[in-house]
Structure 1
Amino acid sequence: MLNNSQIVRFFKNQTIFLTGGTGLIGKLLVEKLLRTSFDLNKIYILMRTKHGKSPQQRFDDFFDSPCFEKINENFKSKVSFISGDCLKPGLGVKSEDVDILKKETTCIFHIAANLNFRQTIKEASYNVSSTKEMITLAKEMENLKIFAYVSTAYSNCLKSHIREEIYPPPIKAQAFLDLVNSCNEDELEKTLLPYVTKWPNNYAFSKCLSEDLIKNSLTEIPAAIIRPSVVTNTINDPVPGWINNYHGFVGVAAAGYVGGMQNLYGKKEKKVYLVPANFVCNCILAAAWETANSKSVKVFNCVGKSLSLERLINGLNSLYWKFPSMKCLWYPHIVIIQNKFWYDVKAYWTLMLAYCIDFIFFCFKNPVGATKTRKRIVEQVNVLSYFITHEWKFDEDRFINLWKKMGDEDKKIFPFHDSATDWDKFFTICVLGVRLYLFKDPISTLSKAKAKFKILFALHYTIVAMFYYFLFTVFKFLIKQRLNSPCRQELLVWGVLLALRRWVASSYKDEVSRPWIYAAAFLPWANEHCDQ
């Protein structure tokens, strides 16, 4: 079957230069190439020193990931590392390595990027400058056939309808880089404020600039820009559920899994676009094959399938019950809160609770960390809130045409367009993937985890009951002096609590005022039936 694959034949004798090779998509790309394209020449991966490990040390550990378990040891020799750093001029690559890359490289896959949504403008500028350095290097490669760049579907998120085209940025990439190089951090923030103020984060802004840079600089080299939406675990290949980071949806799923995220601010009806990581990998390889035959820049919106936020969270909650983890810190259950004020109130309350937990741990000389974890989760929700309170329409004409152009063999080897996604199966794979690959919690602990889950469930609702009883007692005490009838006191207090509960459960902002109408209508009835 591999011999009949057009994509496999395209990568025969090719030499790949890859940035971001140690990330989720990068590792899947290396794995897929080694497993399907036996006749490729070489894969060079740009690696930098990180967390105290040298490029050599990181490369020695590269194949330890579970995603490489299907790879024959003999094919691993086709992969080498190039010492460098995307944060440095010239990518920090030695001159002798530059000469090798210029002479041998035929395909570039530029995936490396800082994915932190809270990064400063200065930090985000490296996403743009590294792209510029890659373009400069690409222009000097004699045998280069394709320049593939991984962007994001939200690179132009200020538009509600996103087509497969490159939109003009608010400021040209070169002008942006000139400002970064000539201004200090404070001056840079003030100067660029008019350009970035509407963007939800600097990461998306930097991707918009990078796309424009590719469009204007790569006029003679075929270039493919792949825009994935929210990338999740692998759905089946090479390992079901594999994941190695906490970005996006995976971070929400993981935080909810351990009980660290009880509340999520968002709109229930808003659509969330999810795409499995292996689908993104396959789309990149297919787009490189198809675009190499043209002399233009092509954009592919690889956004996967959409479902409502409510459907997504309900799916996760059902699986938290079915496959609880021993890593649970509290009862795992996520509630969507659509009122921002009430979400802020509950976020403050849970933060105070985290302080109390840390204080108790400190008194018993145990490690503390609940407050730090809670703050990190709140920050994660805040940066994601823009994407779960807004909705987009994505054009996928070129993406779909790419799929149609592929032969039957290629569709089996490199699937990326699945119109019949089984969401229940998908959620199960994602949750189990988080459990196995992020929490390192094997299925063998499931029975003990279920017992722990029952205890946390009982403890959670005991505290909730105590909280509402506390509110009941406070309201009753406050009105005791003005209402002498015990019956009237009870009815009024429960009426106020009912109104408060109805407000909490409000689905839309225009319903917020309704509970007080209910309470106002309830009080005359109480007075009439409780007269002494």
Structure 2
Amino acid sequence: MSTELSESQDLNGLEQEENGTTRLTDICSGTVGSSMASIAEYYAGKSVLITGATGFMGKVLVEKLLRSCPEVKALYILVRPKAGQSMQQRVSDMMKCKLFDRVREDDPEFYQKIIPISSELTQPGLAISPEDVEKLGACINIVFHCAATIRFDEPLKHAVQLNVLATQQLLSLAHQMHHLEAFIHISTAYANCDRKYIDEVIYPPPVEPKKLIESLEWMDDGIVRDITPRLIGGRPNTYTYTKALAEYVVQQEQHRLNIGIIRPSIVGASWQEPFPGWIDNFNGPSGLFIAAGKGILRTMRASNDAVADFIPVDVVINLTLAAGWYTAVHRPKTALVYNCTTGGINPFHWGEVEHHVISSFKRNPLEQAFRRPNANITSNYLINQYWILVSHKFPALIYDLFLRLSGQKPQMMRIFNRLHKAISLLEYFSSQDWEWNSENMSMLMSQLTPEDRKTFNFDVRQLNWPEYIENYCIGTKKYVLNEDMSDIPAARQHLRKLRNIRYTFNTVLVVFIWRVFIARSQMARNIWYFVVSLCFKFLSYFRASSTLTN
């Protein structure tokens, strides 16, 4: 896209911040719908490039475009061939996913609009062939950059390569696209988590990306590993650090490309589309929910009063498509940032999450649970360590001992160690609050027609959290674990069996303590008889009082 195109139109009522990021001050007068195409009409006939299309958010984006913008011309998706699986096989497997059932009903030939492009984000030029570069340059109208490593503990070198260098190279490719109208970058609301108040602006980067990239080229892995804590500073991991750098890299192109940046918080299962509760991975809260439902997770260090800033994946995708439309139509001179969060609009707290997750899994239990669902959230380190020892490690040791004695491979301690690692990576986000400004998100909503607000709904004020968590938990059961809902009665029976085992174990434990400790000590027996007689007197008193009353 030429520079003349990107700078040919200004947006009325926009104010330039000192750092070059656009903020809304006055919304254009009049309704957009009366003079402009709807979102679906805008995407009609357009060719779209999507990175990260085989990932969680990418798949939802592809599905939503095909279903709600049926006249879209083509979706080009960058796909990395895997060992033993060709690019075409990966795309074919993705298309068979239940996520695409609604699209499949409307258009059985929908897959013909999907055009895979062989690519590798860690390679120069993204390993896209010259023929494909030419093809993309000639036809692409909108780019949605969803690809990134989301591993919190990714080595810095690899995180920079995937989140920063790959973004740079995609921007270089975008400059060769002659008909490009919008470049939408998916970031994270936690890119600037070293701040408590986060505005819809691009903050100065923690380090100049170019200098960091040049330094990492000659450093060996050991040196990089040693200096990583000093480099990331107040941020908790390499993910948030490199996403902040990527935002700055994208912003540098704002005078040559029409750019929008989406910052979702903790992305979870779908709220409404294509059906409630769809999820396909163990990442983020999904793995914790499943562990709690299986009775494996019994304690977690978090603040009950801290906001659990979950954002449904369909909300993020609806906002992303609306931002693509708005960016292309209005062509703001500088990048618009959208903080896609719920905490400041419709807050939900970790204590509430615990209650609703446990309640949901008791109503709709997972199959072959290890124990009955029951979790405890605490912000106290020592109490958390106590419960880890009593409720996690001790049962894991006993279960692994049982497996060894029965000739099976022990596995429970390994599972708990992985769980503890995952929880430790999330503790930073579950023990504190942030405040995000969301003016641009509200502005964008006001610019939609009533019909588009329904079709591309991202109004989180309408989100009913207990209902959402219920559907989320059921979604993990149906779509992640592939469990049949018709087997719920059997799962409930299994929970009753676990309850009876627990009662039996507690009874045996009490009898054991009595026989070993109390029965052999005169003082212990005296205390025991005193407690029992006291209880008997209280019962007799209440029984007598009840008789007199009657």
Same fold (TM over 0.5): yes
**Pick from 460, 471, 485: which aligns with 1:418?**
460
Pairing of 1:100-499 with structure 2 (within 5 A): 100-125=135-160, 126-292=162-328, 293=330, 294-304=332-342, 305-349=346-390, 350-460=392-502, 462-463=504-505, 484=523, 486-487=525-526
Q: Does 1:69 align with 2:101?
A: yes
Shift of 1:368: 3.5
Q: Residue 271 of structure 1: SS of its match in structure 2?
A: coil
The farther-off stretch of 307-316 and 322-331 is 322-331
Shift in alpha-carbon separation, 1:226–1:258, aligned structure 2, 3 A:
same
Query: What amino acid is aligned across from residue 414 of structure 1 in structure 2?
Result: F
- Is contact 1:166–1:211 with CA below 8 Å preserved after alignment? yes
Q: Residue 451 of structure 2: SS of its match in structure 1?
A: helix
Shift of 1:120: 1.4
Query: What amino acid is aligned across from residue 418 of structure 2 in structure 1?
Result: R
Unaligned runs of 5+ in 2: 1-32, 532-550
Q: Residue 384 of structure 1: SS of its match in structure 2?
A: helix
- Is contact 1:327–1:441 with CA below 8 Å preserved after alignment? no
Shift in alpha-carbon separation, 1:398–1:465, aligned structure 2, 3 A:
farther
Shift of 1:345: 3.0
Shift of 1:367: 4.4
Query: What amino acid is aligned across from residue 488 of structure 2 in structure 1?
Result: L
**Pick from 59, 63, 66: which aligns with 2:91?**
59
Shift of 1:365: 2.5
Shift in alpha-carbon separation, 1:460–1:384, aligned structure 2, 3 A:
farther
The farther-off stretch of 400-409 and 326-335 is 326-335
Shift in alpha-carbon separation, 1:452–1:189, aligned structure 2, 3 A:
same
- Aligned twin of 2:76: 44
Give distance in 1, aligned partners of 2:304 and 2:172. 45
Give distance in 2, aligned partners of 1:434 and 1:489. 48
Query: What amino acid is aligned across from residue 127 of structure 1 in structure 2?
Result: N
Shift of 1:398: 0.5
Give distance in 2, aligned partners of 1:473 and 1:345. 27
- Is contact 1:155–1:205 with CA below 8 Å preserved after alignment? yes
Shift of 1:166: 0.9
Give distance in 2, aligned partners of 1:55 and 1:432. 32
Give distance in 2, aligned partners of 1:122 and 1:490. 67
Shift of 1:54: 2.1
Q: Residue 399 of structure 1: SS of its match in structure 2?
A: helix
Query: What amino acid is aligned across from residue 194 of structure 1 in structure 2?
Result: R
Q: Residue 73 of structure 1: SS of its match in structure 2?
A: coil
Q: TM-score, normalised by structure 2?
A: 0.84
Query: RMSD in angstroms over aligned alpha carbons?
Result: 2.5
The farther-off stretch of 259-268 and 354-363 is 354-363
Shift in alpha-carbon separation, 1:468–1:187, aligned structure 2, 3 A:
farther
Q: Residue 306 of structure 1: SS of its match in structure 2?
A: coil
- Is contact 1:5–1:410 with CA below 8 Å preserved after alignment? no
Shift in alpha-carbon separation, 1:470–1:83, aligned structure 2, 3 A:
farther
Residue correspondences, number: 488
Higher relative contact order (CA 8 A, sep 6+): 2
CA deviation profile, 1:329-361 (whole Å, cap 9, x unmatched): 222221112211221233244224323312321
Query: What amino acid is aligned across from residue 124 of structure 2 in structure 1?
Result: P
Shift of 1:240: 1.8
Shift of 1:469: 7.9
Identity in percent: 26
Q: Does 1:84 align with 2:119?
A: yes
Give distance in 1, aligned partners of 2:95 and 2:128. 23
Give distance in 1, aligned partners of 2:525 and 2:515. 13
Shift in alpha-carbon separation, 1:191–1:264, aligned structure 2, 3 A:
closer
